[in-house]
């Protein structure tokens, strides 16, 4: 009887899987892995595939550089569920207040606010999830940067890249 109680307690604890909080750099690296994987799997014959992989890597590098600038980046590991965005954006000097965030899309694909998988069976949905992941990263962690706050550079870039890559994918299916 005691043995079965111990086994049940162990099984119950095993089902309660805790996901450790991830630093924004880890989240960005994962998005890079996903974007390269998606391109290799879905557009293997696209002449500019390697260029697109480099574009995602360069863009992520720039995002990380912005995050590391004190006036831009925000991350608080105690701020649940994902450490951002800054709840008090107006407290930084010379920064305009931000608009309210939208709710998360496709919550089942996110743990701790991070894209943990993308739909590999539906490539258009997959690339949408990946580009949305980059957009959300920018909105959470570098939204205090002037260009992101005022012009939504990353948001606009990810929208355009989704449309371009989606068009490339559609053309390969015809």
Query: How many of the other CB atoms lie within 10 Å of CB of 29?
Result: 14
**What are the Cα distances from residue 146, in Å, to 14, 46, 63, 92?**
45, 35, 13, 12
Q: In this predicted structure, what is the pLDDT of residue 16?
A: 45
Domain that holds residue 153: 23-173
Q: How many domains are contained in the chain?
A: 1
Residue 13 lies in a domain: no
Burial zone of 154 (CB within 10 Å; 0-12 exposed, 13-18 middle, 19+ buried): buried
Read off the tokens for 103. Answer: 């709710």
**Whether the predicted pLDDT of 105 surpasses 90:** no
Residue 3 lies in a domain: no
Instruction: Supply the pTM of this predicted model.
Output: 0.74
Residue 2 lies in a domain: no
Q: DSSP character for 13?
A: H
Read off the tokens for 49. Answer: 């595939």
Burial zone of 122 (CB within 10 Å; 0-12 exposed, 13-18 middle, 19+ buried): exposed
Lowest mean pLDDT among 7-11, 20-24, 57-61, 109-113: 7-11
- Helix segments in 16-48, DSSP class H: 24-42
Residue 109 lies in a domain: yes
Q: In this predicted structure, what is the pLDDT of residue 20?
A: 55
Residue 1 lies in a domain: no
Residue 69 lies in a domain: yes
Residue 5 lies in a domain: no
Q: What is the pLDDT of residues 15-52, one digit of tens each?
A: 444 445 678 999 999 999 999 999 999 999 999 999 99
Residue 81 lies in a domain: yes
pLDDT class of 58 with cuts at 50, 70, 90: very high
């Amino acid at each position: 009887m005691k043995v079965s109680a111990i086994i049940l307690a162990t099984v119950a604890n095993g089902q309660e899987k805790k996901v450790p909080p991830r630093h924004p750099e880890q989240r960005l690296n994962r998005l890079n892995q996903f974007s390269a994987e998606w391109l290799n799997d879905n557009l293997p014959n696209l002449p500019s595939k390697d260029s697109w992989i480099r574009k995602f890597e360069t863009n992520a590098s720039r995002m990380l550089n912005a995050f590391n600038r004190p006036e831009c980046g925000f991350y608080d590991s105690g701020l649940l569920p994902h450490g951002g965005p800054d709840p008090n954006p107006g407290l930084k000097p010379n920064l305009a207040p931000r608009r309210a965030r939208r709710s998360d899309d496709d919550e089942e694909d996110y743990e701790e606010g991070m894209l943990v998988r993308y739909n590999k069976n539906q490539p258009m949905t997959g690339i949408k999830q990946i580009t949305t992941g980059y957009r959300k990263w920018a909105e959470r962690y570098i939204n205090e940067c002037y260009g992101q706050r005022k012009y939504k550079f990353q948001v606009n870039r990810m929208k355009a890249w989704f449309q371009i890559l989606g068009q490339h994918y559609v053309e390969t299916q015809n």
